[in-house]
Amino acid sequence: MVNIEKEGNMDRFPVLRGISVSLKILAVLVLVAGILIGLVGRGTGNQLGAIATFGTFLIAAIYAIGLWVSAEMIGVLLAIEENTRQSASLMARLTPTSTVTGATPASTERPIGRR
Protein backbone atom coordinates (compact mmCIF):
# COMPACT_ATOMS: atom_id res chain seq x y z
CA MET A 1 0.00 0.00 0.00
CA VAL A 2 1.31 3.44 -0.91
CA ASN A 3 1.70 5.85 1.97
CA ILE A 4 -0.51 8.68 0.87
CA GLU A 5 0.38 11.07 3.67
CA LYS A 6 4.03 11.36 2.62
CA GLU A 7 3.09 12.83 -0.74
CA GLY A 8 3.08 16.60 -0.53
CA ASN A 9 0.15 18.75 -1.48
CA MET A 10 2.10 20.51 -4.23
CA ASP A 11 3.55 17.29 -5.68
CA ARG A 12 0.23 16.13 -7.09
CA PHE A 13 -1.11 17.55 -10.35
CA PRO A 14 1.56 20.19 -11.01
CA VAL A 15 0.19 20.93 -14.49
CA LEU A 16 -3.28 21.75 -13.14
CA ARG A 17 -1.75 24.01 -10.50
CA GLY A 18 0.28 25.73 -13.23
CA ILE A 19 -2.82 26.20 -15.37
CA SER A 20 -4.64 27.67 -12.37
CA VAL A 21 -1.87 30.21 -11.76
CA SER A 22 -1.70 31.02 -15.48
CA LEU A 23 -5.45 31.65 -15.61
CA LYS A 24 -5.22 34.04 -12.65
CA ILE A 25 -2.36 35.94 -14.29
CA LEU A 26 -4.32 36.09 -17.55
CA ALA A 27 -7.38 37.38 -15.69
CA VAL A 28 -5.38 40.26 -14.23
CA LEU A 29 -3.84 41.04 -17.63
CA VAL A 30 -7.26 41.05 -19.32
CA LEU A 31 -8.64 43.40 -16.69
CA VAL A 32 -5.68 45.79 -16.95
CA ALA A 33 -5.80 45.72 -20.76
CA GLY A 34 -9.54 46.40 -20.70
CA ILE A 35 -9.05 49.37 -18.40
CA LEU A 36 -6.25 50.78 -20.56
CA ILE A 37 -8.18 50.30 -23.80
CA GLY A 38 -11.25 51.84 -22.21
CA LEU A 39 -9.28 54.88 -21.08
CA VAL A 40 -7.83 55.35 -24.57
CA GLY A 41 -11.33 55.11 -26.07
CA ARG A 42 -12.56 57.68 -23.58
CA GLY A 43 -10.29 60.27 -25.14
CA THR A 44 -12.56 60.69 -28.16
CA GLY A 45 -14.72 63.14 -26.21
CA ASN A 46 -18.06 62.22 -27.74
CA GLN A 47 -20.91 60.18 -26.33
CA LEU A 48 -20.01 57.14 -28.41
CA GLY A 49 -16.60 57.09 -26.75
CA ALA A 50 -18.24 56.97 -23.31
CA ILE A 51 -20.44 54.07 -24.35
CA ALA A 52 -17.47 52.22 -25.83
CA THR A 53 -15.47 52.86 -22.66
CA PHE A 54 -18.22 51.43 -20.46
CA GLY A 55 -18.66 48.45 -22.77
CA THR A 56 -14.93 47.77 -22.78
CA PHE A 57 -14.78 47.93 -18.98
CA LEU A 58 -17.79 45.64 -18.68
CA ILE A 59 -16.55 43.03 -21.15
CA ALA A 60 -13.04 43.04 -19.68
CA ALA A 61 -14.47 42.59 -16.18
CA ILE A 62 -16.69 39.71 -17.31
CA TYR A 63 -13.79 37.95 -19.02
CA ALA A 64 -11.48 38.53 -16.06
CA ILE A 65 -14.05 37.18 -13.61
CA GLY A 66 -14.64 34.14 -15.82
CA LEU A 67 -10.93 33.39 -16.00
CA TRP A 68 -10.50 33.84 -12.24
CA VAL A 69 -13.49 31.58 -11.53
CA SER A 70 -12.03 28.92 -13.83
CA ALA A 71 -8.77 29.06 -11.89
CA GLU A 72 -10.60 28.81 -8.58
CA MET A 73 -12.63 25.83 -9.83
CA ILE A 74 -9.40 23.98 -10.53
CA GLY A 75 -8.33 24.77 -6.97
CA VAL A 76 -11.65 23.51 -5.59
CA LEU A 77 -11.37 20.26 -7.53
CA LEU A 78 -7.82 19.75 -6.28
CA ALA A 79 -8.96 20.41 -2.70
CA ILE A 80 -11.80 17.89 -3.09
CA GLU A 81 -9.32 15.32 -4.40
CA GLU A 82 -6.97 15.95 -1.47
CA ASN A 83 -9.77 15.72 1.11
CA THR A 84 -11.06 12.51 -0.46
CA ARG A 85 -7.57 11.04 -0.39
CA GLN A 86 -7.14 11.97 3.29
CA SER A 87 -10.57 10.56 4.18
CA ALA A 88 -9.76 7.29 2.44
CA SER A 89 -6.46 7.09 4.31
CA LEU A 90 -8.16 7.70 7.65
CA MET A 91 -10.90 5.19 6.89
CA ALA A 92 -8.29 2.60 5.95
CA ARG A 93 -6.62 3.09 9.33
CA LEU A 94 -9.88 2.95 11.29
CA THR A 95 -11.38 -0.06 9.54
CA PRO A 96 -10.10 -3.45 10.71
CA THR A 97 -8.61 -5.42 7.84
CA SER A 98 -10.13 -8.75 8.91
CA THR A 99 -13.77 -7.73 8.39
CA VAL A 100 -15.74 -8.89 5.40
CA THR A 101 -16.54 -5.98 3.14
CA GLY A 102 -20.10 -5.54 2.01
CA ALA A 103 -21.59 -7.46 4.95
CA THR A 104 -24.59 -5.80 6.56
CA PRO A 105 -26.17 -6.65 9.89
CA ALA A 106 -29.41 -8.61 9.78
CA SER A 107 -32.48 -6.43 9.74
CA THR A 108 -34.67 -6.52 12.83
CA GLU A 109 -37.60 -4.88 11.07
CA ARG A 110 -40.51 -6.92 9.77
CA PRO A 111 -41.38 -6.65 6.09
CA ILE A 112 -44.32 -4.40 5.31
CA GLY A 113 -47.62 -6.25 4.98
CA ARG A 114 -46.61 -9.29 7.07
CA ARG A 115 -47.67 -9.90 10.64
pLDDT tens digits for 71-113? 999 999 999 999 999 999 999 888 776 555 565 555 556 667 6
- Beta carbons of 71 and 23 less than 8 angstroms apart: yes
User: What value does the mean pLDDT take over residues 32-54?
Assistant: 80
One DSSP character per residue, 14-34 reads: HHHHHHHHHHHHHHHHHHHHH
CB 43 within 8 A of CB 50: no
- Across the range 22-43, mean pLDDT stands at 90
